[in-house]
Amino acid sequence: MCGIVGYVGSQSALDVVVAGLKRLEYRGYDSAGIAVLADGGMAAAKKAGKLANLEKELVERPLPAGSTGIGHTRWATHGGPTDLNAHPHLDNAGRVAVVHNGIIENFAELRAELAERGHALSSETDTEVVAHLLAEEFSACADLAESMRLVCRRLEGAFTLVAAHADEPDVVVGARRNSPLVVGVGEGEAFLASDVAAFIAHTRSAIELGQDQVVELRRDGVHVTGFDGSPAETRSYHVDWDVSAAEKGGYDYFMLKEIAEQPKAVADTLLGRIDASGSLTLDEVRIAPGALREVDKVVVVACGTAFHAGLIAKYAIEHWTRIPCEVELASEFRYRDPILDARTLVIAISQSGETMDTLMALRHAREQGAKVLAVCNTNGSTIPRESDAVLYTHAGPEVAVASTKAFLTQLVACYLVALYLGQVRGTKWGDEIRAVVRDLSRISEEVEQVLETMEPVRELARSLASKNTVLFLGRHVGYPVALEGALKLKELAYMHAEGFAAGELKHGPIALIEEDLPVVVVVPSPKGRSVLHDKIVSNIQEIRARGARTIVIAEEGDETVVPYADHLIRIPATPVLLQPLVATVPLQVFACELATARGNEVDQPRNLAKSVTVE
Count of domains observed in the chain? 3
User: Both 293 and 409 in a single domain?
Assistant: yes
Q: What does the alpha-carbon distance between residue 168 and residue 317 come to, in Å, rounded to a whole number? A: 55
Domain boundary among 415, 450, 485: 450
Residue 357 lies in a domain: yes
Active site (annotated) includes residue 610:
yes
Active site (annotated) includes residue 376:
no
User: Both 199 and 131 in a single domain?
Assistant: yes
User: Both 56 and 186 in a single domain?
Assistant: yes
DSSP H helices in 338-429: 356-367, 382-385, 405-425
3-state secondary structure 273-318: CECCCCCECCCCCCCCHHHHHCCCEEEEEECHHHHHHHHHHHHHHH
Q: Which domain holds residue 578?
A: 455-597
114: nearest Cα among 144, 97, 92, 147: 92
User: Both 185 and 57 in a single domain?
Assistant: yes
Exactly one of 314, 488, 490, 610 is catalytic; name it. Answer: 610
Q: What does the alpha-carbon distance between residue 589 and residue 601 come to, in Å, rounded to a whole number? A: 15
User: Both 391 and 506 in a single domain?
Assistant: no
pLDDT of residue 242: 66
Taking the alpha carbons of 571, 495, 330, 154 in that order, is the dihedral positive or negative?
positive
Q: What does the alpha-carbon distance between residue 421 and residue 294 come to, in Å, rounded to a whole number? A: 11
Torsion, CA 606, CA 247, CA 586, CA 597, rounded to 10: 50
User: Both 460 and 446 in a single domain?
Assistant: no
Q: Residue 487 burial (CB < 10 Å; 0-12/13-18/19+)?
A: buried
pLDDT of residue 208: 82
Residue 284 lies in a domain: yes
Taking the alpha carbons of 537, 539, 542, 543 in that order, is the dihedral positive or negative?
negative
User: Both 289 and 438 in a single domain?
Assistant: yes
User: Both 237 and 315 in a single domain?
Assistant: no
Domain boundary among 194, 211, 246: 246
pLDDT of residue 276: 67
User: Both 330 and 370 in a single domain?
Assistant: yes
pLDDT of residue 102: 83
Residue 291 lies in a domain: yes
User: Both 279 and 413 in a single domain?
Assistant: yes
Query: Which domain CATH number covers 416?
Result: 3.40.50.10490
User: Both 527 and 384 in a single domain?
Assistant: no
User: Both 54 and 9 in a single domain?
Assistant: yes
216: nearest Cα among 190, 178, 187, 188: 190
What is the per-residue pLDDT across 468-516, written as a single tens digit (0 to 9) for each?
999 999 999 999 999 999 999 999 999 999 999 999 988 998 989 999 9
pLDDT of residue 27: 64
pLDDT of residue 489: 97
Residue 228 lies in a domain: yes
Using a CB cutoff of 8 Å and minimum separation of 24, what contacts does 286-294 make? 286/388, 286/389, 287/345, 287/371, 287/373, 287/388, 287/389, 289/424, 291/371, 292/345, 292/421, 292/424, 292/425, 293/424, 293/425, 294/343
Residue 435: in which H helix or E strand, if any?
helix 430-451
Domain boundary among 421, 450, 479: 450
In 449-584 the beta strands, taken as DSSP E runs, fall at 469-474, 496-501, 518-522, 549-555, 567-571
Residue 235 lies in a domain: yes
- Please list the residues that pair with 41 across neighbouring strands: 38
List strands edge to edge, sheet with 31-38: 41-48, 31-38, 68-74, 3-8, 190-193, 182-185, 205-208, 235-238
What is the per-residue pLDDT across 301-360, written as a single tens digit (0 to 9) for each?
999 999 999 999 999 999 999 999 999 999 999 998 899 999 999 999 999 888 999 999
According to DSSP, residue 63 is labeled P
Query: What are the phi and psi torsion angles at 208 (to 5°)?
Result: -75, 135
pLDDT of residue 36: 96
Query: Which domain CATH number covers 87?
Result: 3.60.20.10
Q: What does the alpha-carbon distance between residue 573 and residue 555 come to, in Å, rounded to a whole number? A: 5
What pTM did the predictor assign?
0.74
Low-confidence ranges of the chain (pLDDT < 50): none
What length does the chain have? 615
